[in-house]
Amino acid sequence: MSTNITWHPSLSRSERNKYRKQRGFTIWFTGLSASGKSTIATALEQHLLHLGFAAYRLDGDNVRFGLNKDLGFDEKSRNENIRRIAEVAKLFADSSNIAITSFISPYKADRQQARELHAQAAAHPDDEPLAFIEVFVDLPLEVAEARDPKGLYKKAREGKIPEFTGISAPYEAPENPEIKIESDKTSVEDAVRLIVEYLEGKGLLKL
Ligand SMILES: Nc1ncnc2c1ncn2[C@@H]1O[C@H](COP(=O)(O)OP(=O)(O)OP(=O)(O)O)[C@@H](O)[C@H]1O
Ligand SMILES: [Mg+2]
């Protein structure tokens, strides 16, 4: 635990957004392995970059190469994995970027914690909460298992990967996500369009 620490205030979020000419917020993908989180998140990131927005994707395995290389896949490590990602996403959002996260994030309580972190993230007394958009990429387990692009389900069924989400570890589906995408019925392009329409509808793509 850190003690004797004092928050040092800086300029307000709206001032920073004005200089950076965009609002910062977080788009949080959740869903089973192979549901399509990384595929849709990457297409969304590209689309937003083409439109001129600063967007940056934090993705499952990639983060485990560096920041979270010390963490495993047991429940406690998954909690800590998501806690750190949420903190990093919040920093990106606070610096007027669009943070896009694509992690299985199977536990409701962890996603709720990430959401609350954004809601409370006032770096300045005038700050509004940071928007947090949960995108549930929904796909029946059988379809995800049939896709199996990384061969992980096969390994999990053979008992070679312990605590694999959907097989030997739980996935707690969101009840009220801001956006739900059924990736067996929605193309990647349509998924991106749905998300962008949602962001436009909420006024998040303008100051
Ligand atoms: N409509 C769709 N949306 C997203 N992905 C799709 C769709 N149709 C087929 N796919 C395929 O499904 C696979 C999804 O894999 P992807 O790596 O994006 O999943 P993920 O949710 O990020 O999994 P993981 O949690 O293991 O990282 C890809 O091979 C992708 O091409
Ligand atoms: Mg992925």
Q: Could you tell me the pLDDT band of residue 7, with boundaries at 50, 70 and 90? A: confident
The pLDDT score that the predictor gives to residue 157 is 98
Write down the pLDDT at residue 84.
Answer: 97
- pLDDT tens for each residue of 74-89: 999 999 999 999 999 9
CA of 60, closest atom in ligand 1? 27
Say which CATH number the domain at 34 has: 3.40.50.300
State the residue for tokens 């006032």.
122
Is 7 a member of any domain?
no
What tokens does 156 get?
Answer: 């999990």
* Atom from ligand 1 closest to the CA of residue 41: 18
- Domain span holding position 130: 13-139+170-201
> What 3-state class would DSSP assign to 110?
helix
Dihedrals phi, psi of 137, to nearest 5 degrees: -90, 105
Nearest CA to ligand 1 atom 24: 33
Is the residue at 55 inside a domain?
A: yes
Domain membership of residue 92 (yes or no) is: yes
The number of domains in the chain is 1
* Exposure string for 33-42, b = 16+ CB within 10 A, e = fewer: bbbbbbbbbb
Angle (nearest 5°) at CA 115 between 30 and 188: 30
pLDDT at position 19, please?
Answer: 96
184 CA distance to ligand 1 middle (Å): 10
Q: What are the C-alpha distances in Å from 1 to residues 4, 5, 69? A: 10, 11, 21
Specify whether the CB–CB gap between 16 and 92 falls below 8 A: no
The answer to whether residue 70 sits within a structural domain is yes
Which ligand has the shortest distance to the CA of 39?
A: 1
Measured in Å, residue 34 CA sits from the centre of ligand 1 at: 4
How crowded is residue 3: how many other Cβ atoms within 10 Å of its Cβ?
4
Does residue 156 lie in a domain region?
no
What number of helices (H) and strands (E) belong to the chain? 8, 5
Residues with a CB atom less than 6 Å from ligand 1: 31, 33-40, 60, 102, 104, 147, 149-150, 183, 186-188, 191
- pLDDT digit string, tens, across residues 39-65: 999 999 999 999 999 999 999 888 999
Q: Which of 147, 152, 186, 187 to mutate to test the pocket of ligand 1 (most atoms within 8 A of CB)?
A: 147
Q: How far is the CA of 36 from the centre of ligand 1 (A)?
A: 3
Question: Is 1 among the domain residues?
Answer: no
Domain-embedded: residue 45: yes
Helices 75-94 and 108-119, interaxial angle, to 10°? Answer: 20
In a 3-state reduction of DSSP, which class is residue 169?
strand
Q: What is the pLDDT of residue 87?
A: 97
Secondary structure class of 34 (helix, strand, coil): coil
Q: Flag whether 161 is in a domain.
A: no
Q: Give the global pTM.
A: 0.96
Point out the residues that are catalytic: 105
Burial class (CB in 10 A: 0-12, 13-18, 19+), 18: middle
Q: How far is CA 110 from CA 28, 75, 83, 85, 106, in A?
A: 12, 10, 7, 11, 8
How much distance in Å is there from the Cα of 124 to the middle of ligand 1? Answer: 39
